[in-house]
Amino acid sequence: MKKIKKQNAARLLEKWQKEFTVFVPSKASGVAQMAVWDGQDLAFLEHNRNTVIPPKANFLPSIQKMFGFRKEEGGYVLEPTDEDPPKQLLFGIHPCDARAIAIIDMVFKDAYEDRYYLSRRQNTVLVGTACTSPYDNCFCTSLGFGPADATDVDIMLTDIGDSFLIEEITDRGKEVLAGAKDVMAATAADEKKARAVKESAKARVSTKIDTDEIGKRLPLVFDDRKFWEEISAKCVSCGICTFLCPTCYCFDINDEMLRDGSGARYRNWDCCSFAVYTKMPAENPREDKWRRVRQKVYHKYAFYPELFGIIGCTGCGRCIRQCPVNWDITQTLNSLPAGTPTKKQETQKSS
Amino acid sequence: MTREIEQKLRAEARNLLEKGKVDRVIGYGAGSLRFATTPLIISDKGDADRLVVNPFIHNNLSVFLPDLCGKVAIVAKVCDARSIISLVQNKQIAREDVFIIGVPCSGIIDLAKVQKLTGLDRDEIGDMSWKGDKVAVTFAGGSKEFSAGEVLADSCLGCDCSGFQEFDLVIGEIKPLAGGKDLSRNKIQEMEAMSPAQRWEFWKNEFSRCIRCYACRQICPVCFCERCFVEETEPLWVSPLPKWQDNLIFQAVRMMHVAGRCTDCGECERACPANIPLGILTGKMEDIVEELFQYRAGMDKDAPPLMAAYQPEEAENLMR
C-alpha cells in the first residue's frame, strides 16, 4: 500500500485537476455538497462528514438536458445534446455514497443503458475517504458494509494522522495515481494504524437495523393499512428524503419551448412522496399518503432485493437528519409488526 | 418547570381522550435525533405519556389539521395557534372542531445558529439548555453560554404573543419573549440597505441552491391549496426545472399567496435543506401586511381573510 503526507495532498489534487474537474465536499455554496475544488479550500481533508446533497447529483444532475428540438416544415428536428460529459474526479466520497452509485448502476447501467448516466459514470474516478466521523444516526454497518469499506471506489484514502494511507482498488485508480510525485510506500506501521482507524470508525456507527428480520417481515405487512397509516401520519409529503437520498433516481421529463416551436427536453428529479407523482402521463396509483410512504420503504427494502439482490439503502442517514418532522426510517423498520402470512404466501412457501 | 408542564399536558390529553371530548391529540413526541421533537398524533389515552414539551418543539402542528377528521386537540405555541386561527379564518377548519392547548414557549433554539456559533454539528453537541436567560451549550472539552438574541430563531425574536385570546386551555404561563423585534429584523434591515442590484444578486445566489423539494410549501400550514400553481401544466406557470429564476418565481408567488395568512412561524426556513433564508421574506411580508392593512393573520377568528374577502366599497374595482 501507499501513502501521502496530508501537506502534499493539495499537490495530488492539482495533478488531477489537469485531467479532471475535481469535486470535493464543500459548504461554500451555502449547503454541503460536492463542488468543484477551488484550489484553495482544504477543510475537507480534516473534517469530512456526509454532504447534504448526495454525490448522485454528479451522475443524475437535477437538470439534465436530453436533447434540443426545433420545428421545421413537416415536423420537428431533434438536436442531440452536444454537451461533453465532464471528466470528473470525486475526491472524499464516503463508502455509503460510493455504494449508492454502485446501486444506481444496477438500474441505469445494467438493467437499462442510460446514456446520460453512463456518459458521466464512465468518465468518473471515485477517490474515497474512510468516513471517520459518521453521524449518530448513520447505520451503514447494518447494510453489509461499513464506513471504511473500499469496495465501490477506485482509490481509498484513510486518515492516519499526518498522512493518508492509499489503497488502489481498481486499475483506473492505479492509472490516475501513476506518476504522483509525493506518493510513498506505506510501512507496516501505517497499515496497522489504518486498520485501527477503520475499526474505530466502524465501532462509532451506533444505529442498527436487522435486515434479516426486515426481509422476513416486509412481505407480511404490505396490507397492514393501520400500521402504514400510523407510520405515515406525520409525513408532510415533501421531497427531502428522496431528493437527498443517494440511491433515489426517479425523474420527471419536461420540455421548455419557445413560441417558434424550438426548445429542449430536460430530465429533473421527481419524488414518489409527491401527491402529483406520475400524474402527468396517467394517474398516481398512490393517492393516499400511507401508500406513498410504504412505497418508499418497499422500494428500498423489498423491491430492490427482489430485483437486484441488494437493499437499495446505504444507511447514510440523510433522510432522517434532513426530515422536517424527524420521520425516521430506522424506527419504521425496527417496528414492523411480525405479521401473519396470508394464505397465498403460505401456499407459495409450501409449494 | 418544563417537566411540570409536560406532566400537566399529559394529564389533560389523557382526560380529553378518555372523556371523548376529542378524537385525537396532536402534540410533540421525543425525536430520534438530538435536540429534536417529532409530531405525535394520538387517539389512545395510553399514548398521552409520550407527549413532550421542551425547547425544541419547533414544528407548527397546525399543518396536520385540515387532513384530520373529528375533533382534535392540538398543542400549540402562540405562533402555531395563530396559524390555527388563520386556517379557521380561511375556512379550512371549523373552530369548534379544534381544542387549542397553549404551552409556554421560551422561543425555539435555532439549531442552525448554534451550529454556526460553535462550529459543531448536531450530534457533536453534548447538551443545550436554558440557564436563566442564557442558553448553555456543552460539548466535548467545553461549554459556552449564548444570549437569546444569539441563538433563538429570528421568527421567535420577533414574537409578539400579546393580545392572543383563542386558547381553549393554557398550561403554565405564556409570557412575552426576551428577544426584541429589532433583533429579529436584522437580516431584513441588511437587505433593505442593499441596492436593488445587490438584492437581486443575493437572491439569485440563494435560489441557485433550491432543489424544489417543496418542503417549504408542504410544512406550511397556510399553503393549503389543493393544487399548487407550480403543478399547473396548462398553462405552465413555472418551469418544474430547478433553475434559479423559476425557483425565485415559485417562492415569490408562494409568498404572495400566503400574505395575510402567514404568521412568520419560521417553519419554511427551518425545513429548507438548502438553507435558504426564507424568514427574510416571511418577516418582511408580515411587516408589509401590518403596515398597509393593520392586519395580523390569525389574531381574530372573525376577521375576514385579508386577501380573500372583498368589500363592495373598496376602492379597487378589479372585482366589480
pLDDT attached to residue A279: 76
pLDDT attached to residue B157: 87
Interface check B211 vs A, CB under 8 A:
yes
Angle between helices A225-232 and A289-298 (to 10 degrees): 100
Given an 8 Å threshold on Cβ–Cβ distance, is A274 in contact with B206? no
Q: Which residue has the cell 420527471?
A: A252
Probe site for chain A from B62, B218, B229, B280 (most A CB atoms < 10 A): B218
Given an 8 Å threshold on Cβ–Cβ distance, is A238 in contact with B38? no
| Partner residue facing B215 (CB), from A234, A240, A256 | A240
Residue B269 domain-assigned?
A: yes
Q: Which residues does chain A have within 8 Å of residue B243's beta carbon, measured at their own beta carbons?
A: 63
Question: Measured between alpha carbons, how far is A23 from A33 in angstroms, rounded to an integer?
Answer: 9
Kindly state the DSSP code that residue B233 receives in the 8-state scheme. Answer: B
Q: Which of A113-117, A338-342, B84-88, B152-156 has the lowest mean pLDDT?
A: A338-342
Q: Which residues does chain A have within 8 Å of residue B241's beta carbon, measured at their own beta carbons?
A: 63, 254, 256, 266, 268
pLDDT attached to residue B1: 59
The answer for A232, left when phi > 0, alpha when psi is -120 to 50, beta otherwise, is alpha
Given an 8 Å threshold on Cβ–Cβ distance, is A30 in contact with B37? no
Question: How many helices and strands, by DSSP H and E, does chain B display?
Answer: 12, 8
Judge if B19 and B138 occupy the same domain. no
Sheet of A263-269: strand order equals: A75-80, A63-72, A263-269, A251-257
Judge if B120 and B254 occupy the same domain. no
Kindly state the DSSP code that residue A56 receives in the 8-state scheme. Answer: G
Residue B257 has pLDDT above 90, yes or no: yes
Residue A22 has pLDDT above 80, yes or no: yes
Q: Which residues does chain B have within 8 Å of residue A327's beta carbon, measured at their own beta carbons?
A: 38
Judge if B101 and B161 occupy the same domain. yes
If contacts are CB pairs under 8 Å, which of residues 69-88 in chain B contact chain A? none
Of B120, B151, B182, the residue that ends a domain is B151
Contact A77, A260 (CB under 8 A): no
| Partner residue facing B41 (CB), from A234, A240, A321 | A234
Residue A157 has pLDDT above 60, yes or no: yes
pLDDT attached to residue B287: 92
Question: Measured between alpha carbons, how far is B45 from A314 in angstroms, rounded to an integer?
Answer: 37
Question: Measured between alpha carbons, how far is A325 from A344 in angstroms, rounded to an integer?
Answer: 37
Judge if B97 and B144 occupy the same domain. no
pLDDT attached to residue B320: 56
This model of the complex carries an ipTM of 0.94
Residue A345 has pLDDT above 70, yes or no: no
pLDDT cut 90: percent of chain B above it: 78
| Partner residue facing B33 (CB), from A252, A266, A320 | A320
Average pLDDT, chain B: 92
Probe site for chain A from B24, B25, B26, B33 (most A CB atoms < 10 A): B33
Please tell me the distance in Å from A275's CA to the nearest CA on chain B.
Answer: 10
Q: DSSP string covering A176-236, please?
A: HHTT-TT-EEPPHHHHHHHHHHHHHHHHH------HHHHHHHHHHHTT-HHHHHHHHTT--
Instruction: Provide the 10 A C-beta neighbour count for residue A294.
Output: 25
- Mean pLDDT of the B269-284 span: 96
Q: DSSP string covering A201-218, please?
A: HHHH------HHHHHHHH
A138 — pLDDT class (breaks 50, 70, 90): very high
The domain tally of chain B equals 2
CB pairs under 8 A between A and B: 110
Probe site for chain B from A206, A240, A248 (most B CB atoms < 10 A): A240
Of B129, B151, B173, the residue that ends a domain is B151
Judge if B62 and B118 occupy the same domain. no
Residue A103 has pLDDT above 60, yes or no: yes
- Mean pLDDT of the B277-299 span: 94
Judge if B245 and B216 occupy the same domain. yes
Domain holding B125, by residue range, is 111-151
Q: For residue range B193-215, list pLDDT tens digits in order.
A: 999 999 999 999 999 999 999 99
pLDDT attached to residue B51: 98
| Partner residue facing A63 (CB), from B122, B214, B243 | B243
Q: Which residues does chain A have within 8 Å of residue B33's beta carbon, measured at their own beta carbons?
A: 136-137, 320-321, 326, 328
Cell of A47: 473534517
pLDDT attached to residue A305: 97
Q: Which residues does chain A have within 8 Å of residue B37's beta carbon, measured at their own beta carbons?
A: 326
| Partner residue facing B32 (CB), from A137, A256, A322 | A137
Of A93, A99, A106, nearest in space to A33 by CA: A93
Q: Which residues does chain B have within 8 Å of residue A233's beta carbon, measured at their own beta carbons?
A: 39, 41, 64
Judge if B137 and B85 occupy the same domain. no
Residue B284 domain-assigned?
A: yes
pLDDT attached to residue B163: 82
Given an 8 Å threshold on Cβ–Cβ distance, is B214 in contact with A238? yes
Judge if B142 and B166 occupy the same domain. no
Residue B146 domain-assigned?
A: yes
Given an 8 Å threshold on Cβ–Cβ distance, is B271 in contact with A324? yes
pLDDT attached to residue A297: 97
- Mean pLDDT of the B208-236 span: 93
B236 — pLDDT class (breaks 50, 70, 90): confident
Given an 8 Å threshold on Cβ–Cβ distance, is A237 in contact with B218? yes
Given an 8 Å threshold on Cβ–Cβ distance, is B219 in contact with A236? yes
Judge if B57 and B125 occupy the same domain. no
| Partner residue facing A326 (CB), from B38, B208, B217 | B38
Given an 8 Å threshold on Cβ–Cβ distance, is A136 in contact with B211? no
Residue B35 domain-assigned?
A: yes
Probe site for chain A from B241, B244, B254, B276 (most A CB atoms < 10 A): B241
| Partner residue facing A320 (CB), from B32, B205, B242 | B32
pLDDT attached to residue A253: 93
Q: For residue range A36-91, list pLDDT tens digits in order.
A: 999 999 999 998 999 999 999 999 999 999 999 999 988 999 999 866 778 999 99
Q: Which residues does chain A have within 8 Å of residue B36's beta carbon, measured at their own beta carbons?
A: 326
Tell me the sheet residues that pair with B130: B135
Judge if B144 and B287 occupy the same domain. no
Rounded (10°) CA dihedral A177, A180, A186, A191: -40
Residue B318 domain-assigned?
A: no
Please tell me the distance in Å from B276's CA to the nearest CA on chain A.
Answer: 8
Question: Measured between alpha carbons, how far is B240 from A265 in angstroms, rounded to an integer?
Answer: 12
Q: Which residues does chain A have within 8 Å of residue B219's beta carbon, measured at their own beta carbons?
A: 236, 238, 324-325
Given an 8 Å threshold on Cβ–Cβ distance, is A239 in contact with B211? yes
Q: For residue range B56-78, list pLDDT tens digits in order.
A: 999 999 999 999 989 999 999 99
| Partner residue facing B219 (CB), from A238, A276, A320 | A238
Residue B245 domain-assigned?
A: yes
Judge if B142 and B228 occupy the same domain. no
Q: Which residue has the cell 413526541?
A: B29
Domain boundaries along the sequence of chain A: 2-65+82-204, 211-350
Q: For residue range B121-154, list pLDDT tens digits in order.
A: 999 999 998 888 899 999 988 999 999 889 998 8
pLDDT attached to residue B319: 60
Residue B316 domain-assigned?
A: no
Residue A351 has pLDDT above 50, yes or no: no
Q: For residue range B163-190, list pLDDT tens digits in order.
A: 888 999 999 888 777 656 778 888 999 9
Judge if B210 and B289 occupy the same domain. yes
Q: Which residues does chain B have within 8 Å of residue A240's beta carbon, measured at their own beta carbons?
A: 213, 215, 271, 273
